Amino acid sequence: MPVKCCFHRSPTTETMAWSENMDTLLTNQAGLDAFRTFLKSEFSEENVEFWLACEDFKKTESAEKIASKARMIYSEFIEADAPKEINIDFSTRDLISKNIAEPTLKCFDEAQKLIYSLMAKDSFPRFLKSEIYKKLVNSKEIGNHKKWLPFL
């Protein structure tokens, strides 16, 4: 496991670090919030919401909570006409539908990989080119200059 540097990243460096990879973005609360805002503007926030629900689901320990959380994720994101239905292929959706009767912590793994890949290849590059991201980087840079150069 890599050791993190003891120096605190400046807000600009941190914001720019989100562009390194999607994991950096998703593990930073401010980055996640910005990405969510962007996805909402594109009407695809269900993708990151599903991914987050799966991350939370994988930490579930009690068998009865696994079953209830799996049903909630299934009804919210997977089943036909779900309120936040994600775009996955028929075979993945069918497999989950069959496994939901006796769910395991891995029952959404394939769908989560597909959604992560979709976000990484499609949404994430567009986010980095978006006005939302550009404004964040620019506002952090201006904020830093003001902090260090009070005459600006």
Question: Of 96, 92, 93, whose CA–CA distance to 107 is shortest?
Answer: 96
Q: Mean pLDDT over residues 4-9, rounded?
A: 40
Contact yes or no for 140/11 (Cβ under 8 A): yes
Q: What local confidence, expressed as pLDDT, does residue 137 receive?
A: 86
pLDDT at 4: 43
Comparing C-alpha atoms, which of 34, 28, 32 is closest to residue 51? 32
User: Considering the chain, what is the average pLDDT of its residues?
Assistant: 86
Distance CA 59, CA 33 (A): 21
How far is 141 from 38, CA to CA, in rounded Å? 20
Lowest mean pLDDT among 8-22, 67-81, 95-109, 114-128: 8-22
Rounded mean pLDDT, 43-63: 96
Q: Is the pLDDT of residue 14 over 50?
A: yes
What CA–CA distance (Å, rounded) separates 28 from 32? 6
96 token code pair: 């989950």
Q: What is the DSSP letter of 124?
A: H
With cut-offs at 50, 70 and 90, classify the pLDDT of residue 9. very low
What are the residues whose beta carbons fall under 8 Å from the beta carbon of 81, sequence distance 6 or more?
none
Given this model, what pLDDT does residue 56 score? 97
**Structure confidence by residue, pLDDT tens digits, 55-104:** 999 999 998 999 999 999 999 999 999 999 999 999 999 999 999 999 99
